[in-house]
Structure 1
Amino acid sequence: MFADQLILNEREAARGRAFVVRAKEVSSGRAAIDAAAAGVSPQVIERHRKAVDTLEQKAAAALRLYEKLKAGVLDESLDRFRRDPGIMLVFARISRGLSQAELADRLGLKEQQIQRYEAERYRSISLSNYRKVANALGVEFTATIRSESFLWSRDVGAEKVPISKSDMSRTLAHAKDNNWISVPDDDDGGAALFAYIKRPERLLASPALLRTGLNPLDITNDLSLSAWRARIVDLAEDRLKSSSKNLPDFDPLEISWLVELARSSANQDGLKTVSQILQDHGIVFLVEPHVAGTRLDGAAIMLRTHPVIAMTLRHDRLDYFWFTLFHELAHVFLHSSSGLAAGFFDDLEAGLTDELEQEANEFAGSLLVPPERWRISPARISKDRDTIIDFAKQIGVHPAIVFGKIRHDRRNYKLFTKEVGAGAVRRQFL
């Protein structure tokens, strides 16, 4: 909610006001006590509280901007969004005091059509129909032809980084083999691949914001990442359409259920229930193998008003699966206002971390193995398998998670190689 910090109609304004009230309640001491009673770690509660404070401020700012628009004050809106022609049409309607129904009447359309246009910020409207709406609202636009054009490149400072031949051939082969695109025999496939990648770009933030998670400056496999992201958007769109009646709104203020998700790891069918649990909370869960040669474990993005978590299962281990899942959930709950629209694309083995990724690591680790329990447990320093399994039972998670934590903390990945659930994940999903 409020991923783009905009409120553009009275229904959204009502939800925004209710959200601000609830957010203030979540930030209160009583809410923290309730979360702790549900088993949420104090570290998780505090990080979530800070994220909720940010969301509350964003929602309040969006409400103020909406009230300015209704009063016909456009200066701030024009400065921030003049490069988005779709949003500018919505701003024009609001500032002229027109409801969606009144604009529809002017255009001879049904109100539902205007609602659909505005929900997607006019991104799918034809040029002729766009001009009709703009004329009805008294909006004029100008265009500038740039001196240079690049089929596909990435800005890094003042440089343009081209696509490598190896990245192109690898990505194209993967896309064809997995039926992402259809390419005639006499076609090299390049145009089809670029068209596939660009098609969902209108639904997300700029591809210049692509990141490989822990190393946001690494652009080595930009094309592969962009193609994989396009695939995820395609799958998520299909899932949203097919489950629109059964998918509830996502609530960024409620985290107690994450404890139950962590505990579901101990169940024999825990992996099979992940998708349904996330769907019950308004989150789309996907599994899509990565393009060979890329180092990608998972991703978190916001599509419309629903978070999407996608995993590659690059490492077929239970401990790795659960940590990756909770790392992406951390992005959903902590970073919805600082990158989720563009997406987090994570290589969890990368050596370089930034602040957001470090927060996600700590959030995930604290939910799976509460630090306050871990500090006083003999399992922390034990080499005895049964002692570690007993601790996992005490906190209610699969033992592979605790064994994986020990391997990570001790920086010794030769320990407990038979205890981390190797080979137990992919067969459940692929």
Structure 2
Amino acid sequence: MTFLRDLLGIPGASSDPAALAAAARDRSGADPDGLPLAVVRAEDIDGVRETLRLAHAHHVPVVPRGAGTGLAGGALAGTGAVVLDVSAMDRIVEIDPVDELAVVEPGVLTATLDAAAAEHGLRYAPDPASAAISTIGGNIATNAGGMRCVKYGVTREAVLGLDVVLADGTLVSTGRRTVKGVSGLDLTALFVGSEGTLGVIVGASLRLRALPERTLTAAAGYDDVASAARACGDLARARRDPAMLELLDGLTLDVIDRAQGTDHGRRSRALVIAQADGPAADAEIAAIAEVLGKEASWVEQGVDAASSDALLAARRLALPSIERFGKALIEDICVPRSRLADAFAAVEEIAAEHRVAIYSFAHAGDGNLHPIIGYSGEARPAGVQRAADAIFRLALDLGGTVTGEHGVGLLKRDWLAREVGPDVLGLHASVKAALDPRGILNPGKAL
């Protein structure tokens, strides 16, 4: 086969079965329909361009891939596809402390960039839970979020410009190095969140932020999750400005206790954790604690970094604790903040109806709820998927979206169609056809 012979001539290309099996899956837990044809672990932009030129000429599907940490099946690669892995392109090209800017390749780990920025008194504000293992390219492809998004926004707000290789191998640059700029259409925003369906990101200019002088934490326990959700809404009504606002339900607290030997679930049936940062952090966290305390059974404040980290530990341990006792379908929806209490209540009803355990926690400041459906055994029970579908339906009924930060991938395509409707879906298809007329980029995903 001429195509495969030419493809294997690209540095980093392989058809070894073990390499193919490793590149075929992502963290979603879904299974591809077979092994891909080949994997190219691109070493530079030229490798990406050559791979796409060949694939475009031969009408071969290409699945872009970073670290494979996605949760929606966006990096699944089945029979006949080529996996284009850009994780080896992992250089931090530049950090400019005056312009508060970083220029990076797509394979840079999110936490690595954040640590490098910290050496200059800066940070990369988006902070997905997978920061230690996920790549910047993957974060941009899914418009990843995280706990600091309530104040600093999602990945899109940090992306100033992109270098993107289109389906036919053409290299384009979008955006700029400045915070302001309105020349032409905002193509940078178009590629952010497109999940590798419109082009392959090979470079990014990213906005950095000053490290806050102080970051302080408050935690509050409640007798039920409805009271906790109302307290989060009260913070918005009081015009408080948390840098982080997280909510965990009682079932989640119980599983953390089982895994970590803590006593969160015995102390309360819902937990809210908030942070404030900047020069006014002391006053702000005190005001936040006062609002949270109106319905809380207890409130604690961190007085320094160590005590603040201790209060935040429960949130960071939530998912690892759930996964310690079995498998999990890790979902995310987003609802208006005013409907967060309704969402938590309805998820509890869904769990009872479908007889599944659903551990719920949320980025409460922006209404982003993570209902984690636990199960045991290798095969995913039918009730798990039925519960997930009910959760997606709930999100739309409450005026929200079926994904706040994980992306659509393969697993939520049908629900995307229900959310946006046929006319908008047609616009998506038109944009896709303009940039990828042969439909080779991540086919069957996202759009």
Which has more strand, going by share of residues? 2
Of the two, which has the highest radius of gyration?
A: 1
When normalised by structure 1's length, the TM-score is 0.26
Which has more helix, going by share of residues? 1
